[in-house]
Amino acid sequence: MKPRVEKGKGNGDGNGNGNKTAELPEKERRALVQRVLWSRELARSKKIRDFLSYVCERAFEDGDAQPHEQEIGHHVFGRPAEFDPHDDNIVRVTACNTRKKLELYFLDEGISEPVILEIPKGKYKPIFRERDADLPEESAASISDVQAKLAVYRRVLVALGACTVAILTVAIWSLAALRSGRQAHPADLLANPAINILWSHLLFPTTHTDIILPDSSLSLFENLEDSHISLMDYIGSSKWMVDDRLAANPKLDDFAQQVARQGLTSMSSVRMACRIAQLAHGDLGRISILRPRDFNMTQMKSDNVVLLGSPRANPWEYLIDSKLHFQRVFDRQAGGAYFEVLGPRSGEVSVYRSEPNVSYSRIAFVPNQANTGSVLSIEGSDAEGTEGGSEFVTSESSMEKLLAVAGKGHGGSMPYFEALLKGSRVGGEASSFSIVAFRLVQPTASGLDQNAAAPHSAAK
Distance between CA atoms of residues 363 and 433, nearest Å = 12
Q: Which domain holds residue 78?
A: 26-130
Output the CA torsion sign for 402, 406, 411, 416: negative
Higher local confidence (pLDDT), 12 or 228: 228
Mean pLDDT of the chain: 76
pLDDT at 223: 73
Is residue 327 predicted with pLDDT exceeding 80? Answer: yes
Alpha helix (H) residue ranges in 128-249: 137-180, 193-202, 216-225, 231-236
Q: Percentage of the chain with pLDDT > 90?
A: 21
Q: In what side-by-side order are the strands of the sheet with 304-308?
A: 287-290, 209-212, 304-308, 374-380, 358-367, 417-426, 429-440
Assess whether 57 and 115 both reside in one domain.
yes
- Indicate whether 45 and 104 sit together in one domain: yes
Q: Are residues 183 and 124 in the same domain?
A: no
Residue 72 or residue 218, greater confidence? 72
CA 425 to each of CA 35, 227, 269, 431: distance values in angstroms, whole numbers, following the listed order: 51, 29, 17, 6
- Give residue 449's pLDDT: 47
CA gap 220, 372 in Å, rounded:
34
Would you place residue 151 in the very low, low, confident or very high pLDDT band (cuts 50, 70, 90)? low
Residue-wise over 320-331: b if at least 16 C-beta within 10 A, else e?
Answer: bbeebbbebebe
Boundary of a domain, candidates 75, 100, 130: 130
Are residues 32 and 176 both part of a single domain? no
pLDDT band of 181, cuts 50, 70, 90: very low
The answer to pTM > 0.75 is: no
Region 181-210: mean pLDDT is 71
Q: What is the DSSP string of 224-267?
A: HHT----HHHHHH-SGGG--GGGTT-HHHHHHHHHHHHH----H
Final residue before a domain boundary, out of 96, 130, 164: 130
Residues 6+ apart with CB under 8 A from 83: 70, 73, 74
Q: Are 49 and 76 in contact (CB under 8 A)?
A: no
> What percent of the chain has pLDDT above 70?
69
Query: Which of 130, 162, 188 lies at the terminal end of a domain, its last residue?
Result: 130
- Whether residue 202 sits in one domain with residue 60: no
Position 171 scores a pLDDT of 52
In the predicted model, is pLDDT for residue 16 greater than 70? no
The answer as to whether 3 is a domain residue is no
* 297 belongs to a structural domain: yes
Same domain, 67 and 208: no
Integer CA distances (angstroms), 424 to 275, 330, 430, 431, in order: 21, 21, 5, 6
167 shares a domain with 102: no
**Span 19-67, pLDDT tens digits:** 555 567 888 888 899 899 888 778 778 889 899 999 999 999 888 888 9
Lowest pLDDT segment from 113-117, 163-167, 215-219, 283-287: 163-167
User: Does position 11 have pLDDT exceeding 50, yes or no?
Assistant: no
Q: pLDDT tens digits, residue range 393-450?
A: 999 999 999 999 988 765 667 899 999 999 987 766 667 899 999 999 877 654 544 4
Q: How far is CA 189 from CA 103, 134, 198, 199, in A?
A: 59, 73, 10, 8
Residue-wise pLDDT tens digits, 289-322:
888 888 888 898 899 999 999 988 899 998 888 7
Angle between helix 216-225 and helix 250-262 axes, rounded to 10 deg: 160
Residue 124 is assigned to a structural domain of this protein:
yes
- Number of domains making up the chain: 2
Mean pLDDT calculated for residue range 256-269 = 74
